[in-house]
Amino acid sequence: MTTMIGFDDVRLGFGGVEVLDGVGFGVGEGEFVSVLGPSGCGKSTLLNIAAGFLRPDSGEATVAGEPVTGPDHRRGVVFQQYAIFPWLTVEKNIGFGLTLRANRRSREERRAQVARYVELMGLQGFEKSLPKTLSGGMRQRVALARAYATEPQVLLMDEPFAALDAQTREYLQELLVETTQTERRTTMLITHSVEEAIFLSHRVVVLGNRPTRVREVVDVPVPFPRTPESRLQPEFLAVRRHLEDLMRSESTTSARS
């Protein structure tokens, strides 16, 4: 499998405190990989390195085989806080990336692409709405639609559902898992939720405590298509138990140190 997102011995510290201590793993083409780890272990830092917002002290991140040296419109990023423009309507937000030079499309293509992602994210009827009139869950659907609409090489998602209530969060996980089954974009997702990581991913990368390395990479043998019932399958429950044990042992280690 071609590696689309790669971390090779990535090290980074802040003000003399070592955070990432030689992190290495890859995300294959079309793969969905979640990154779990104790609070403050450097998950967001890792994502920011892949996005080109931060440079490692040593080691390298690559996207599609090229070293990451700075931000690039071919990477779609979704954050916890709504990364959408409050002054643009839903459809203008979704189409925004398609007006930029790197991803520019004709007006017709833009219209078709926006309509496609409005539909995939269930935003029909809200095309002309402004973000302030939408619920938190709908705003995140706009952010996802905008990230997908440019058909990026890779998608990088940092806790996209963390600010949402439990029910909305589950609904968006279901919407995202459906989308990934039709879109197959290489995706790296940062999350605190074991359940979310399993439900969405082919594999889960577990990071350890600072100074941080990869503790384990866990395959998720839950078949696709995934549905709400997948959460009850024995394979799902077995992976959940394993990941919860790993996370628990990491938090015990950190409490002792």
Q: Tell which positions 45-74 bind ligand ATP, by CB under 6 A.
A: 45
- State which amino acid sits at residue 51: A
Contact criterion met (CB below 8 Å) for 203 and 31? yes
Q: Which residues does 246 contact at the CB level (< 8 Å), separation at least 6?
A: 206, 215, 216, 218
Of 39 and 124, nearer to ligand ATP (C-beta) is 39
Question: Minimum distance from CB of 41 to ligand ATP (Å)?
Answer: 4
Among 26, 28, 44, 55, binds ligand ATP (CB under 6 A): 44
42 is an interface residue for ligand ATP by CB under 6 A: yes
Of 181 and 251, nearer to ligand ATP (C-beta) is 251
Closest C-alpha among 39, 36, 103, 83 to residue 240: 36
Piece in contact with ligand ATP (CB under 6 A), picked from 1-9, 41-49, 70-78, 231-239: 41-49
Total binding residues toward ligand ATP, as defined by CB under 6 A: 11
95 is an interface residue for ligand ATP by CB under 6 A: no
Closest C-alpha among 187, 171, 163, 185 to residue 228: 171
**Which segments of 65-127 does DSSP mark as H helices, in order?**
90-95, 107-120
Of 163 and 175, nearer to ligand ATP (C-beta) is 163
Q: Three-state SS string across 167-222, please? A: HHHHHHHHHHHHHHHHHCCEEEEECCCHHHHHHHCCEEEEECCCCECEEEEEECCC
Closest C-alpha among 82, 88, 76 to residue 139: 82
Of 90 and 156, nearer to ligand ATP (C-beta) is 156
Piece in contact with ligand ATP (CB under 6 A), picked from 14-22, 81-89, 110-118, 129-137: 14-22
* 78, β-bridge pairs: 157
40 is an interface residue for ligand ATP by CB under 6 A: yes
Pairing outcome for strands 154-158 and 75-78:
parallel
191 is an interface residue for ligand ATP by CB under 6 A: no
| Residue 180 structure tokens | 């990934």
Of 227 and 251, nearer to ligand ATP (C-beta) is 251
14 is an interface residue for ligand ATP by CB under 6 A: yes
43 is an interface residue for ligand ATP by CB under 6 A: yes
Would you tell me which residues interact with ligand ATP (CB under 6 A)? 14-15, 19, 37, 39-45
